[in-house]
Structure 1
Amino acid sequence: MNKITFIGDITCDRPLLNAAYDRNAGSYDFFPVFGKVENLFVDSDYVVGNFETVCAGGKNGFQNQYMLCNSPDELIQAMVRGGINCVTTANNHCLDQGIEGLVRTIDELDKNKVLHTGTFTNEDASKRILYLYLNDVVVALISNTYSTNASNTGVVLNDQNDFHVNLLRKQSEFILAGKREWAKRFLFKLIGARYRRIINRFVARLKLRQGKVFLKPRVDTVVDDDTDNKYLRLLVEDLKVARDNADFVIVCSHIGGQFNEIPGEYSKFIGDFVLEHGADMLIGNHPHVIQKVKRENGKIVAYSLGSFNQSPSADYIIHDALPEYSMAFHVYFSKDQDFVNIDRMTFSIFKAVEDSKKMIVVYPIDKLYDELGEGERIQLEEDVKMVYKRITGQPILKNVIQNEYIF
């Protein structure tokens, strides 16, 4: 049997970073994050996560800039030890530490023998497709992103260097470029990361006192050039190549409205677009919460698997849509002569649990259930019922807590 497991966003928020640091050793230990799920990955040929951070080295500090990522190399090492052997890297954080940080992240993944796609060190069209070999089944993997954090970083790619990131559209226009770029850079330097966090929290508390909601789920809409641009044309070319060289084609797209449990207009467009042009499946990430899985005419769209290990105490979290839960999506393949079958698709539900020191432990819900008291078990069951219905569109009437659910 051939099996690929997809998991959600692998992140490193400030609470987890601080909790993982061992002052005596002067190093980080992230393995507790992955320790409870590694046994579930043992029978998967590939476990594919979205690496939503960068490892740009400690020279400029880790996570010291507001809403910009940089994680210790130990995160990759712990991830590998936990059984994750493949990642997608095209996401809004891939340029958080510039092109240099992007390249170093790729180097660290290579050092740790992690397969990857989505960001690249050089312009080589053949590298835009990653081929996974499962005995006699060849699966093509393409990773892309709606944009990067250009409005925060000031890193705007052009026609000469945009090969570094598999984009779906031009980077956000909300950028102080040209004559005004210096003003933004000056403002970012003037207001340090610590003070931007303080200002952010102050505004949030002020609005809450006024009865206003500070953070709201975001909606992804289709705007000008979203449906026809050079990046989509490149994607169509890649899909044709992948179709010719693989038995099954999967696109992993970083799309969607953050903390919105309902797929938006742009997510639906991308899902339809890639299936129309040759993909068999789309795996989505970025919303930080689980969204539905759709299956029509043998094609599959999993709009969002949620965040694998985001910190519940991070100050950007919206809790209403249960962001502490994520999904592992399992696809079982077989090949009959020249025809590839999906024998079955299943999913597991994970919960990221934060302890008093802010360390994250990701649990399969059946393992977590065994460790809880009666009252906590009841709450877990209620949460799982909501998550299950969001994924499948159907209520679960019995055997609420399972290791693996059949879709």
Structure 2
Amino acid sequence: MRSKYTSFTLSIALAWGVWGCAPSTGTPHPPAAVAPSVPTSAATPAASPVTSDTEAGREPPPAEGGPLPSAERAGGHEPPPSRFPEQRITLMAVGDIMVHDEQLEAARLPDGSNYDFAPFFNQVAPIFQEADWLIGNLETTLAGAELKYTGYPMFNSPDSLADTLKQLGFTALTTANNHSLDRREAGVLRTIEALDRAGIQHTGTFRDEASRNQPLLLTKDGFTLALIAYTYGTNGIPIPKGKPYLVNLIDPALIKADIARAREAGVDLVAVALHFGNEYQRQPSAAQREIAGLCIQYGADLVLGAHPHVVQPYEWKTVTLESGMSHNGLIAYSLGNFISAQRRDYKDVGVILKLTLHKGENGEASFEEAEWIPTYVHYYRKNGKRQYVIYPVSLTLAAVQQGQKDPALTKEVLNTLHRLEKEMKLHLDSLQKQEKAS
């Protein structure tokens, strides 16, 4: 079913077995473009979930006291019960979660005793109520007040940020990025402690080798997701000698081994978060495409990109595994800035990726639908104090159309939202169109 939060949705069917794949002769290919949402029953027939017995070509169960189904009337037998109940789950992911000095000022309480980040997220919070899993990239440390709270270029944020993210529903945060070591080893360890206290799972930085070698497994309603994360570097700050486990660096051999380890755990889905690419570039680089493609080749189903601080297009990647099986994966090269103080040139734009996962009666999981929900970080002043708020573009415009009032939504801001609503669909789809044309 199409979400009310976005104006463009992609209906797809990507079935995978033990290795996340299907025979190469029968794997349905994802569509080449983001298209308006259609009911599931209108998708590819072989992959569409059955919504009723009638649609499946079976007679519905009889009402109490009614006639028996035709098979029993003819002396036959009912089909054996399915091994697994049909299930669905919703995964959402956002990009960079940053706290610049201006945001610290905006969040600081009047008495200076603490920081309240919740108002930043009030407009997007209802969207996250639909998420079973919610993932983001924490691009700051939580190293404690004694190491001083600062924004760019060396980030350290209050623990109340983690508390707010937990209240929003974040299941897991990736912590492998170029700011992981902004407070050195102590900051890595303190960030892990703060996230543990907040009740948010995390991956990408670790206390020790043993925890690094255990992939993060998220479980919900019969689904299991493995989430692993890596970064291109740490801004020139060296990882302490003998402690490579502190921060996962992008290394194809390491990624391949970690994906294999996750598959051995019997997961339904492997997601790889990569902090990579060139800042402020709206198209992925050749290096990005190469390493993301390798992740799919190694058996990942989903790549979540961050670091460019602008939204980059998505790509469906179809590969042939070493086993000879065809395997499809989704690459989101960059989800942009979810929250930051960066302005203009699309640095104040992000996207929420919403994936609907389906598990059929045979126990195989599939991507059923993907949605891209553009967001815009608006900055303004109220009573002389800075304010930041993330607006979901289409939902906000729809609310205004229905007569809702928001003093922060000036004519200029509304014009920006209208422009983004049109531009982002074309931009997100641009890479797929290039691939189709070639």
Which residue of structure 1 aligns with residue 76 of structure 2? none
Q: Distance in 1 between matches of 2:415 and 2:184?
A: 46
Tell me the matched-pair count: 322
Aligned mate of 1:368, from 393, 396, 399: 396
Which residue of structure 1 aligns with residue 297 of structure 2? 276
Which residue of structure 2 aligns with residue 67 of structure 1? 153
| CA shift for structure 1 position 350 | 0.9
Q: Aligned pair 1:84/2:84, yes or no?
A: no
Q: Distance in 2 between matches of 1:386 and 1:330?
A: 19
Q: Distance in 2 between matches of 1:108 and 1:29?
A: 16
Aligned mate of 2:334, from 290, 301, 304: 304
| CA shift for structure 1 position 146 | 0.6
| CA shift for structure 1 position 2 | 0.4
Q: Distance in 2 between matches of 1:72 and 1:17?
A: 9
Q: Which amino acid aligns with 1:353?
A: H
Is contact 2:313–2:431 with CA below 8 Å preserved after alignment?
no
Q: Which amino acid aligns with 1:334?
A: H
Higher relative contact order (CA 8 A, sep 6+): 2
Q: Aligned pair 1:96/2:182, yes or no?
A: yes
Is contact 1:35–1:82 with CA below 8 Å preserved after alignment?
no
Q: Distance in 2 between matches of 1:11 and 1:234?
A: 27
CA 1:364–1:122 in structure 2 vs 1: closer, same or farther (change >3 Å)?
Answer: same
Q: Distance in 2 between matches of 1:164 and 1:338?
A: 36
**4+ residue runs of structure 1 moved beyond 4 angstroms?**
125-128, 373-376
Which residue of structure 2 aligns with residue 124 of structure 1? 210
| CA shift for structure 1 position 80 | 1.4
Q: Aligned pair 1:156/2:226, yes or no?
A: no
Q: Which amino acid aligns with 2:243?
A: N
The Cα offsets for residues 316-346 of structure 1, whole Å up to 9 and x where unpaired, read as xxx32x1111000011111122311111111
Q: Distance in 2 between matches of 1:287 and 1:244?
A: 32
How do 1:7-406 and structure 2 match up within 5 A?
A: 7-63=94-150, 67-124=153-210, 127-150=213-236, 154-158=237-241, 160-168=242-250, 231-245=251-265, 246-297=267-318, 298-312=328-342, 319-320=344-345, 322-336=346-360, 337-356=362-381, 357-369=385-397, 370=400, 371=406, 372=409, 376-393=413-430
Which has a greater percent of helix? 1
| CA shift for structure 1 position 385 | 1.6
| CA shift for structure 1 position 46 | 1.0
Name the larger-Rg structure. Answer: 2
Q: Structure 1: 5+ residue runs without aligned partners?
A: 169-230, 314-318, 396-407
Which residue of structure 2 aligns with residue 204 of structure 1? none
Q: Distance in 1 between matches of 2:425 and 2:238?
A: 39
Q: Which amino acid aligns with 2:306?
A: N
Which residue of structure 2 aligns with residue 400 of structure 1? none
Q: Structure 2: 5+ residue runs without aligned partners?
A: 1-87, 319-327, 401-405, 433-438
The Cα offsets for residues 4-55 of structure 1, whole Å up to 9 and x where unpaired, read as 1001111100100111111315111111111111110112111101000001
Instruction: Classify the secondary structure of the residue corresponding to 1:303.
Output: strand
Q: Which amino acid aligns with 1:365?
A: V
Q: Which amino acid aligns with 1:358?
A: R
Query: What's the RMSD between the two structures over aligned residues?
Result: 1.9
| CA shift for structure 1 position 233 | 1.5
| CA shift for structure 1 position 117 | 0.6
Q: Distance in 1 between matches of 2:412 and 2:339?
A: 24
TM-score by length of 2: 0.70
Instruction: Classify the secondary structure of the residue corresponding to 2:311.
Output: coil
Instruction: Classify the secondary structure of the residue corresponding to 2:339.
Output: coil
| CA shift for structure 1 position 128 | 4.4
Is contact 2:296–2:317 with CA below 8 Å preserved after alignment?
no
Is contact 1:256–1:266 with CA below 8 Å preserved after alignment?
yes
Q: Distance in 1 between matches of 2:268 and 2:431?
A: 31
Q: Distance in 2 between matches of 1:125 and 1:55?
A: 19
The Cα offsets for residues 209-243 of structure 1, whole Å up to 9 and x where unpaired, read as xxxxxxxxxxxxxxxxxxxxxx3212211111112
TM-score by length of 1: 0.75
Is contact 1:89–1:116 with CA below 8 Å preserved after alignment?
yes
Q: Which amino acid aligns with 2:380?
A: D
Instruction: Classify the secondary structure of the residue corresponding to 2:102.
Output: helix
Which residue of structure 1 aligns with residue 33 of structure 2? none
CA 1:167–1:6 in structure 2 vs 1: closer, same or farther (change >3 Å)?
Answer: same
